[in-house]
Structure 1
Amino acid sequence: MEAIVDGRESAVGAVPSFLSTVNGPEALSTLPAERLPELAEEIRRFLVDRVQATGGHLGPNLGVVELTLALHRVFHSPRDALVFDVGHQTYVHKLLTGRQERFPTLRQAGGLSGYPSRAESVHDLVENSHASTALSYADGLAKARQLSGEQERAVVAVIGDGALTGGMAWEALNNLGAAQERPVIVVVNDNGRSYAPTAGAFAEHLSVLKSGGGAGACRNLFTDLGFTYFGPVDGHDTVAIEAGLQRARALHRPVVVHVTTVKGKGYGPAEADKADCLHAVGARFPAAGNGQTGAKAPSWTTVFGRELLQLANAREDVVAVTASMLRPTGLHLMAQAFPDRVFDVGIAEQHAVTSAAGLAMGGYHPVVAIYATFLNRAIDQVLMDVALHRLPVTFVLDRAGITGPDGSSHHGMWDLALLTAVPGLRIAAPRDTPRLRELLGEATGIADGPSMLRIPKGTATPPIPAVARMGGIDILHRSPHRPLDVLLVPVGPLAQAVLDAAGLLEEHGVGATVADSRWIHPVHEALPGLAARHRLAVSVEDGIRTGGIGSALAQKLRDSGVSTPVTVLGLPPAFLPHGPRAGLLARAGLDAEGIARTTLDAHIAVSSARTTLDPAMSRRPR
C-alpha cells in the first residue's frame, strides 16, 4: 500500500468505486462475505490517502476496518446502539454511515469532526472523546432499554485495551457483570496499545488470554465478573468476528468479545510505528505554494521535555507521572534517561494525581504531565488528595486553551475556572520559552504546596523581553509620553497578541501598560497598586472568562479597595467547535484586533462615565 501514498495525486484522487456504493450500513447486509476483504482494502486505501491529506488519527482506524464492518453487518444502527470509547477510531464508522464525501473536510473548520458527532449523524450516539466512558454509557442505555421493554435492541460498547486501564471502565464492568438480565455486549479491541503500549497487570492478563491461557469457556477475569467470554477472535477476519458477535447477541446476557487487532493494519509504516508517530498525523500534502522550508521551531511540549530532563539531571528527587501520554506530553526524554523515575499509570488521571501525592509524601517532587482537558477528570484528587495535604506536586497542563482540530472535548479551556478554586494552588503561565524554563524551575522549588504550569499546543513563542520588572511582575510595554489609560494583563502566550493590541490602541490615542505577572494565581499582590494608576484594567486569558483569572483580578481589586474597573476577555462558557487555534481565538476576540477593539470600547465607556460624573473633566487637559 505504500505506493498508493507516495505521490500527491493519490491524496486527492476519486473515491474508490466499490466503497462509493456503500451509502449506509444497510448496504453491507447484502454484500457477500467473500467481497469483504476487497472492501476492507479499499477502505484502507481511502483512509491512508484522505487522513494524510487532512491530518487525523490514522493508526487506530486502520486497525478497526474489519471490526467495524462486522459490527455494522451484525447490528442495525441506530436501532441497535453502537458506543465507541474515545471515538478517534470511528473514521470507518463514518465512511459506512454515509459521510464519505465529507472526508476532504475532516478536522477542518466547519467540516467533519475527528470524533463522533451527534450533529453529524444519528449513528453517532456519544461524542465525548475522553477515554473509559463507553461502558458506563452502555450500562445506562441497557437500563433504559430494560425499563422501556425494548431489550431486543442491542447495546454494544467498543473499548480498547488501553481505555480499560481507566478506573471508570472497571466501575462500569462491576455493574454490567452483575446485571445478568441486561444484555450488553462489550467488544474489547485489543491491539496492545493506546498512545503507547498498554500499561499494568491487566495488559498482562490480556496477553495470557491471547496466548490461549483463557480461551473459550475457561475462567478468566471477565468470567469472574459475570460475563460470558468469547475469544480471542482475529480482528482482521470479518467472518470470524461476525460469528462471535452473532453468538454474543443470541445469549441475551452480558458478554465480552475479545478481538485482537494490529494498530495501523495494512500500511507498513503504521504497523511498524512503535513510537506511535502515526497514531495521529498532520497533513502530509500542503497546498501548492505553502510548503515550509528551514528549521522548525520547537513546540511548547518539546521545550518542556528538554527542560524537565535538565532538572532531573540536577535533582534526584524530581520524578514524573503521566496517564498514558508519555510522548505527547514530552516525558519520553526523561523516561529514556531515567526509566525508574517516570511512571505511566495508563489512562487513569485520578490515580495519577493521587499516586503523585503518595510520591510527594515519600519525599519526592512529582511532575504530573497531563493534557489540560484530561485533568478535568481528576479535580477532586487535586483538591482533596494533593492541595488539602499541602503536598509539593507540580502539574504541567499541556494543550491548555484552544487546541484546534480535535474540537470541543479537547480544548483545554476549563482548567483556570476549575482550579482557581483550589486553596494553596499556585498557577503559572509562561509567555515564551525562557519563562517556561524559569517557571518550571520555580515551581519544582516550591515545597509547601502544589503548583501548576499551563502550556498551549503548538510552536513555542520566541523570547518576549520585559522592559522592567516590578515586584515580580514583568512590564512588557509602557506607552511613551501618554497617560496611563489602560492596564493590559495577559495570561501566558497571549502576551504577544496583547502587545500588538497595545500598539493599535496607541494609534487611537490610548496609552497602555502591558504587565505579565508570570504567576497568574493567586493574583499578584502588586497588581492592585498598578491597576490603581490606570483608568481601566483588561485581563486576557484563553480559558472561559467566567470564574477565571479575570474574575479573580476583579475580586482582588475590590478587596484591595481599588475602584479601577476590570474588563475580562476570555473564551465564552460554551463548547467550541474544531478549527485552527488562531481562527478560534480570533472568533472569541482574543487576537490583537479583537483585544484592541473591545478595550477601546471599554475605555470610551469608562471615560464617558467619568465625564458624566464630573463635567469639568471634559475641559481638563490630558
Structure 2
Amino acid sequence: MSDTLLNTINNPIDLRTLSENQLPQLAQELRSFIIDIISRKGGHLGASLGVVELTVALHYVFNTPEDQLVWDVGHQAYVHKILTERKEVFHTNRELNGISGFPKRSESIYDTFGVGHSSTSISAALGMAMASLLKGEIEKQHIALIGDASIASGMAFEGLNHAGVTDANLLVILNDNAIGIDPSIGALKDYLTAVKEGKNPRQNNIIKSLNFDYSGPIDGHDLPKLIAELKRLKKIKGPKFLHVTTTKGKGLQLAEEDQVRYHAPGKFEAKTGKIYPKNEDGLPPKFQDVFGHTLVELAKQNEKIIGITPAMPTGSSMKYMMDAFPKRAFDVGIAEQHAVTLAAGMATQGMVVFCNVYSTFLQRAYDQVIHDVALQKLPVIFCLDRAGLVGEDGATHHGAFDIAYLNCIPDLIIMAPKDEMELRNCMYTAQLGLEKPIAIRYPRGRGETKDWQKPFEKIEIGKAKKLKSGTKIAVLSTGIMATNVEKAIANCSNSEKVAHYHFPFIKPIDENTLLEISNTYEHIITIEDGVIIGGFGSSVNKYIIDKKSPLSILNLGIPDDFIEHGSVEELQQICKIDVKNIINQLNILLQL
C-alpha cells in the first residue's frame, strides 16, 4: 500500500489536501482496503461499500470533527473509521480489545455519537445543532446520515417533525439504497421509490412539507455531484435534506447481487467475493432456525397463529413462515413499538401472535410491553432472539437486560429454554391458550443437539427440573447456561456433591423447588447470561432471604458494566460464566 493515495491519508485534514480529481482513485482504494480486511476477518461489508463516495465527500467538504457528523446504526461507518485515524488498527475491528464495529464516542473525537440501534441520528444531530445555536456557534455544521429503512422508524419522524420548526443548522442526508439488512418495506419505501423514478411531483414532497430545504435525489456514487451539492448546502442555514441514492455492496459484484447475504457475509475470497463454503453437515441447528421451522409446524396446526418481526425476517428466521404463510407473517420494518402494539391489537381479536424481536431491540418498546400488553393481560408470545452475549457486535447488541427489565412486570411469564427441544416445547406450550403474555429468550447461534425435531410436549408452567443430584452445592442455571454448568460439574473435584437444577421459568419461579434446595444444601450458585442486578439470581436471593435461610449464595452473570465486543467465549470469560470459572467456583466451595 506504500504507493497508494490511501497510504498518505490518516485523517480528514490529509484528505482535504487532495485535489477533487484524485478522490475517485481514493474511493477505489478504500473499497479494496475494506474488502481485503473484511474478507479475512469478517464484519459488515455491504453497507460500508455503498457509502464510500458519500463518506469521502462528507469529510472532504465539511470540517470534521469541528463540523459534527452523526451516523445512524453505524454498519456503514467503516470508511469513516479508516479516514479518521483508525486505518492502522482497522484489522482489529470487532475483536476483543480492538476497535468497535460501530461509532463510539470514547474511541474517537470523530465519532460524535455512539450508535448501534437505528433511527437516532436526526434527534442527536438536532440536539447538537440546537446547542450550537445557544452557544453562538452559528457557522458550525451538523450532519445526520440515515438510511431509508431507519428513516421509516417513529423516532426519525419525531426528529424531523421537531427540526422543521427550528432554526438549527442541520443537514439530514437520506442514504437511500432500498435495503436495511433485509429489503425495506412499507408505504414510505414505495414513496421514495416513486421519487427516484420521477413519478412523484415535487410539489407533493413529504420532506418539503416539513419545512426542510429538500434536494435530490442525486447519485451517491458520483463524487463531483456530491461535492458540489454538499458545498451548496453548506451555505444554507436552517434544516436541509439531501436525498442520495446508493447501491449496497457497490464495487463487489456478488455483494451487489445478493445484498442480504453480503450484509455481513463472514469470510470470503477478496478478488471474486465468493463466500467460502461452510461444512455444516451434521452440526446442531441455529436456535433461530429452530424457532422458524417450529413456528411453521405450529402454524400448520393452528390457523390463528400470526408472526410479526420488526425488520429481521432473515436474521430471526421468520422468513420461513413468511414463505409458508405470507398472509399470516409480517415484517413491519424498523418499528419495534409498532410491532408490539400491533401484536396486542391482534391478540384482542383472538389471534395467537408470535412477536419475534431481538432482545436488545425490545428495549425500544418497553412501554408498549407494559402498557399495551401486560397491563391488559394479552397473551402475546414474545420470542427474544439474541438473548445474552452476542459476541462481536458488542455493547449495543448484547441481550443482557431482558431478564431484568421483564422480571418486574406483573403477569408476564419469562422462559429460558436450555436447548433446541425445550425451545420447541416452550413455543408449543405458549400457543395452547395461556391467558398471560410470555417471553421466550434464546441465544444467537447453534445449540448442542442434532436430533431436535421431536414430538411436542406441554411444559408445566413455573416448574424447575433437577438435572443432577448432589449433597453440598446446588447450581441453579437458566437457559443455555445449563450446558456450561453440566460441563463444569463433570470436570470438578467431588462432583457427586454438586447438584444441578435448571429453571426454564424465571417468572414465575419455582418456589417449591427453591424450598427443597434451601432445606438440602449448604451453598447455592446461580448462573445466567443476563445482568445479575434484577435477574434470575436476584429472584432466588429474594426467596432465600424471605425464608431466612442460612445458605450462602453466589450469583454469576453479567456484571454491572457494559460488556464490549469479542467472541462469545471471550466475553463469557470476562463475565466469569465460562466453564473454567464455574469449575473454579465449585472447587472453592467444595473445599470449605
The reply to whether TM is greater than 0.5 is yes
Cα gap change, 1:104/1:291 in structure 2, threshold over 3 Å: closer, same or farther? Answer: farther
Match of 2:172 in 1: 186
> Which of 312, 316, 326 does residue 303 from structure 2 map onto?
316
Moved more, 242-251 or 14-23: 14-23
Deviation (angstroms), 1:446? 4.1
In structure 2, the residue corresponding to 1:404 is in which secondary structure?
coil
TM-score by length of 2: 0.94
1:415 aligns with 2:402: yes
Match of 1:277 in 2: 261
Counting only pairs closer than 5 Å after superposition, residues 318-467 of structure 1 correspond to structure 2 as 318-462=305-449
**Secondary structure, in 3 states, of the residue corresponding to 2:465?**
strand
Cα gap change, 1:167 to 1:603, in 2 (>3 Å): farther
Q: Distance in 1 between matches of 2:3 and 2:436?
A: 58
Q: 1:513 aligns with which of 471, 494, 499?
A: 499
The 2-side partners of 1:409 and 1:333 are apart by 27
Query: Aligned-pair distance for 1:424?
Result: 1.0
User: Which residue matches 2:511?
Assistant: 525
Whole-angstrom CA distance in 2 between matches of 1:441 and 1:477: 26
Q: Encode CA deviations 1:173-202: one digit per residue, 9 max, x unaligned.
A: 1110111x2110000000011111211111
Q: Counterparts in 2 of 1:213-224, with a 5 A limit? A: 213-214=199-200, 218-224=203-209
Q: Does 1:200 align with 2:191?
A: no
C-alpha displacement of 1:110: 1.1
Deviations 1:517-565 (A, max 9, x none): 2222221132222212111221100101011010011112334554433
Number of equivalenced pairs: 578
* Structure 1, gaps ≥5 residues long: 1-13, 608-622
Q: Report how far residue 502 of structure 1 moved.
A: 2.0
Amino acid in structure 2 at the alignment position of 1:283: K
**CA displacement 1:457-485 (0-9 Å, x = unmatched):** 121122799xxx99943221124xxxx21
In 2, Cα distance between the equivalents of 1:62 and 1:356?
Answer: 36
Report the residue type matching 2:532 in the other structure.
R
Does structure 1 conserve the Cα–Cα contact (< 8 Å) formed by 2:305 and 2:353? yes
Q: What are the ranges of 5 or more consecutive residues in structure 2 without an aligned counterpart? A: 271-275, 453-458
User: 1:268: which partner in 2?
Assistant: 253
Q: 2:480 aligns with which of 482, 486, 493?
A: 493
Given the alignment, which residue of 527, 534, 540 partners 1:547? 534
Query: Aligned residue for 1:473?
Result: 464
Counterpart of 1:255 (choices 240, 264, 268) is 240
Paired residues of 1:528 and 1:562 also in contact (CA < 8 A): no
Change (3 A) 1:342 1:124: same
Partner of 1:234: 219
The answer on whether the counterparts of 2:489 and 2:495 sit within 8 Å (CA) in structure 1 is no
What amino acid maps onto 2:206 in structure 1? L
Q: Is the 8 A contact 1:54 1:284 kept in 2?
A: no
Cα distance in 1 between the residues matched to 2:451 and 2:555: 23
Aligned mates of 1:388, 1:293 — CA distance in 2: 47
Question: Does the CA contact (< 8 Å) of 2:310 and 2:333 recur in 1?
Answer: yes
Q: Return the offset for 1:509.
A: 6.8
Distance change (3 Å), C-alpha of 1:28 and 1:509: closer
* Structure 1 residue 283: Cα displacement: 2.9
Residues 463 and 422 of structure 1, relative CA distance in 2, 3 Å threshold:
farther
Cα 1:214–1:186 change in 2 (3 A) is: farther
CA distance in structure 2 between the partners assigned to 1:408 and 1:445 by the alignment: 36
- The change in CA–CA distance for 1:131 and 1:190 in structure 2 (over 3 A counts) is same
1:176 matched to which residue of 2? 163
Q: Which moved more, 1:206-215 or 1:72-81?
A: 206-215
* Aligned-residue CA RMSD (Å): 2.2
- Residue 407 (structure 1) shift: 0.7
Q: Is the 8 A contact 1:387 1:424 kept in 2?
A: yes
- Which entry has the higher C-alpha Rg, 1 or 2? 1
Q: How does 1:2-13 map to 2 (within 5 A)?
A: none
Could you tell me how far apart the structure 2 residues matched to 1:99 and 1:589 are? 31
Cα distance in 2 for partners of 1:464, 1:518 equals 20
Cα–Cα, structure 1 residues 525 and 228, in superposed 2: closer, same or farther, change >3 Å? same
Q: Is the 8 A contact 1:536 1:603 kept in 2?
A: no
TM-score scaled by structure 1?
0.89
Conserved in 2, the CA contact under 8 Å of 1:486 and 1:510?
no
The Cα of 1:356 is off from its aligned counterpart by: 0.5
Which residue of structure 1 lines up, in the alignment, with residue 578 of structure 2? 591
Give the letter aligned to residue 150 of structure 2.
Answer: A
User: Secondary structure of 1:189's match?
Assistant: strand
- Separation of aligned partners in 2, 1:394 and 1:193: 28
Partner residue of 1:102 out of 84, 89, 107? 89
SS of residue paired to 1:278:
helix
Cα drift, residue 234 of structure 1? 0.5
Q: 2:54 aligns with which of 53, 59, 67?
A: 67
| 1:71 CA drift (Å) | 0.4
Equivalent residue of 2:228, what SS?
A: helix
Query: d(CA) in 2 for partners of 1:292 and 1:56?
Result: 17
Name the CA distance, whole Å, in 2 between partners of 1:526 and 1:461. Answer: 29
Q: Give the Cα–Cα distance (whole angstroms) in 2 for the partners of residues 603 and 383 of structure 1.
A: 43
Aligned in 2, Cα 1:580/1:509: closer, same or farther, shift over 3 Å? closer
Q: Is contact 1:67-1:235 (8 Å) kept?
A: yes
Q: CA deviation at 1:292?
A: 7.3
Alignment correspondent of 1:136: 123
Structure 1 CA distance, aligned partners of 2:199 and 2:230? 21
State the shift of 1:118 in Å. Answer: 2.1
SS in 2 for 1:43: helix
> Deviation digits for residues 238-277 of structure 1, max 9, x if unmatched?
1111122122221111000000001111111111115x01
Deviation at 1:338, TM superposition (A): 0.6
Find the counterpart in structure 1 of residue 273 from structure 2: none
- Give the structure 2 partner of residue 557 of structure 1: 544
The residue type paired with residue 240 of structure 1 is K
CA contact (8 A) 2:146 2:174 kept: yes
Q: 1:172 to 1:16 in 2, by over 3 A?
A: farther
- SS state of the match for residue 17, structure 1? coil
Maintained 8 Å contact 1:494/1:540: yes
Aligned residue for 1:157, secondary structure, equals strand
Kept in 2: contact 1:531–1:564 (CA 8 A):
no
Structure 1 stretch 443-452 or stretch 145-154: which is displaced more?
443-452
Task: Determine if the alignment matches structure 1 residue 24 to structure 2 residue 11.
Answer: yes
Q: Are 2:197 and 1:211 aligned? A: yes
Give the stretch that moved more between structures: 186-195 or 528-537.
528-537
Identity of aligned residues (%): 39
Q: Which amino acid aligns with 1:266?
A: G
Correspondence 1:111-126 to 2 at 5 A:
111-126=98-113
Report if the CA contact (8 A) 2:494-2:590 is conserved: no
What is the CA–CA distance in structure 1 between the aligned matches of 2:2 and 2:190, rounded to whole Å? 41
Separation of aligned partners in 1, 2:265 and 2:304: 36
Aligned residues of 1:396 and 1:452 also touching (Cα < 8 A): yes
Contact 1:15 1:46 in 2 (8 A): no
